[in-house]
């Protein structure tokens, strides 16, 4: 009789623990969904964004393994050379050899655009992450400061850079296993914003 009671008690405790765990997971998922819809945007402010910075397109689609991408040289000090290797990722080299950096991953496009107003363009790319389940995220690299900023929300949203009417834009869509089913959430301008957590990449939306 006592053994049956002990088994029932253990079962009751196990069920209670599983229910508590399920509530925690549900709360985290709900919080993730809520914050994922608001943490990445700011209202459009023409004074902050100002004139559209010049854009240089490096490549606009992921190259095949055989095609490759011609190197890109920024013809101003410190004369940076960019190279892309499908196997290893992006190479950033200063001409004087003082800095060399490899950013690993598969990249769908790459642009050069001065987002922070320091007079030197940042490397702005769309990155494809994952093998079986793939999501798209955006990545901004400040070559001079050697700092990187990104927007990613795996399994919830995809992000991509595009050029429209001479301006660099970010498109945020719902995550979908099939790209045809993805819905556009918002389109806006990339901005680097000073926050309580430091500088972060945001989408400046007009609506």
SS (H, E, C) the chain: CHHHHHHHHHHHHHHHHHHHHHHHHHHHHHHHHHHHCCCCEEECCHHHHCCCCCEEEEECCCCCCCCCCCCEECCCCCCEEEEEECCCEEEEEECCCCCEEEECCEEEEEEEECCCCCCCCEEEEEEEECCCCCEEEEEEEECCCCEEEEECECCCEEEEEEEECCEEEEEEEECCCCHHHCCEEEEEEEEEEEECCEEEEEEEECC
Please give the Cα distance from 36 to 160 (Å, whole number): 16
What are the 10-residue block averages of pLDDT along the chain, 207 residues in total?
Answer: 63 67 52 55 74 85 75 83 82 76 87 92 92 89 90 93 94 84 91 90 87
Predicted confidence at residue 161, as pLDDT, reads: 97
Predicted confidence at residue 62, as pLDDT, reads: 79
pTM of the model: 0.76
> Which residue's structure tokens are 């655009």?
113
Say if CB 205 and CB 46 are below 8 A apart.
Answer: no
Predicted confidence at residue 109, as pLDDT, reads: 93
Residue ranges of domains in the chain: 1-36, 44-205
């Amino acid at each position: 009789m006592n053994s049956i009671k002990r088994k029932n008690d253990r079962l009751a405790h196990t069920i209670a623990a599983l229910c508590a765990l399920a509530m925690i997971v549900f709360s985290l998922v709900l919080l993730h969904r809520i914050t994922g819809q608001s943490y990445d945007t700011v209202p459009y402010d023409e004074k902050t964004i100002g004139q559209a910075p010049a854009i240089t397109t490096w490549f606009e689609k992921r190259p095949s393994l055989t095609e490759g991408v011609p190197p890109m040289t920024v013809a101003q000090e410190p004369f940076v050379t960019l190279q892309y290797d499908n196997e290893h990722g992006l190479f950033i080299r200063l001409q004087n050899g003082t800095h060399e950096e490899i950013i690993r991953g598969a990249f769908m496009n790459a642009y050069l655009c001065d987002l922070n107003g320091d007079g030197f363009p940042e490397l702005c790319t769309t990155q494809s992450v994952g093998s079986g389940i793939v999501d798209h995220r955006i990545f901004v690299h400040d070559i001079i400061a050697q700092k990187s900023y990104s927007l990613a929300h795996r399994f919830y949203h995809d992000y991509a850079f595009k050029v429209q009417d001479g301006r660099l834009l970010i498109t945020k869509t719902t995550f979908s296993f099939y790209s045809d089913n993805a819905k556009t959430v918002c389109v806006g301008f990339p901005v680097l914003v000073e926050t309580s957590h430091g500088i972060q990449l945001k989408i400046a939306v007009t609506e």
